[in-house]
Amino acid sequence: MLDRPARTRTGPAGIQVVDVTVDGGYQPAVINARAGEPLRLVFHRIDGSECTERVVFSAPRLERHLAMAGATVVDLPPQPPGEVRFTCGMGRFVGRIELTEAPGSVPAQWRRQLGQLEAPLGTALLLWIVSLPLIALLAVLMLDTTTALVVAATALVAWIAGCVWAFDRHQWRFRRP
């Protein structure tokens, strides 16, 4: 029987929380959680075998003893998107946490779109986007709208040129015999 991924619930202080039962394996064995937010796993150990006495996590690298009676709380710090695996002490029982970004978040969309561009162009666009508030502040304090647009366009061209130049130098240095 395939184990369906479990979603987290929101606990106190906005922390993601999941209850995991340890009985001949982990229930649920797959957990869906939001990346970049703390996660609290509450283990309830029913299985008395030696194998289930410990739980070991891949990221962050940590290990916890699981109490036979009661609950054992494991708090994980915010993690980037990806997968975190956890196993019993002997590696027989395996679980995983699938960390994903909120689908509608603007940084996630920008990162996904910029990641599809070539390295120097994507880097240049990202740096230009980050520098836009400074350009806007400069425009408000000292320039008119037309001049501010010219400065923004010039900054974009400068970022692209600088990133292409740096990328080419970097590639050339590693290609040379």
| Mean pLDDT in residue range 79-95 | 93
Global pTM exceeds 0.85: no
- The alpha carbon of residue 103 and the mean position of all alpha carbons in its chain are separated, in whole angstroms, by 13
CATH code of domain 6-100: 2.60.40.420
Q: Which residue has the tokens 């910029």?
A: 114
Q: How confident is the model at residue 173 (pLDDT cuts 50, 70, 90)?
A: very low
Mean pLDDT across the chain, nearest whole number?
Answer: 79
Q: Which residue has the higher pLDDT, 86 or 157?
A: 86
What are 52-81's pLDDT values in tens digits? 999 999 988 899 999 998 899 999 999 889
Q: Rg of the Cα trace of the chain?
A: 24
Contacts 24+ apart (CB under 8 A), 121-130: 121/160, 121/163, 121/164, 123/163, 123/167, 124/156, 124/159, 124/160, 124/162, 124/163, 124/164, 125/156, 125/159, 125/160, 127/159, 127/163, 128/155, 128/156, 128/159, 128/160
> Given a cut of 70, is residue 174 above it in pLDDT?
no
Q: How confident is the model at residue 118 (pLDDT cuts 50, 70, 90)?
A: low
| Mean pLDDT in residue range 86-99 | 94
Q: Each residue of 58-73: b (16+ CB within 10 Å) or e?
A: ebeeeebebeeeeebe
What are 146-158's pLDDT values in tens digits? 777 787 788 777 7
Domain ranges of the chain: 6-100, 106-175
As a whole number of angstroms, the distance between CA 20 and CA 45 comes to 8
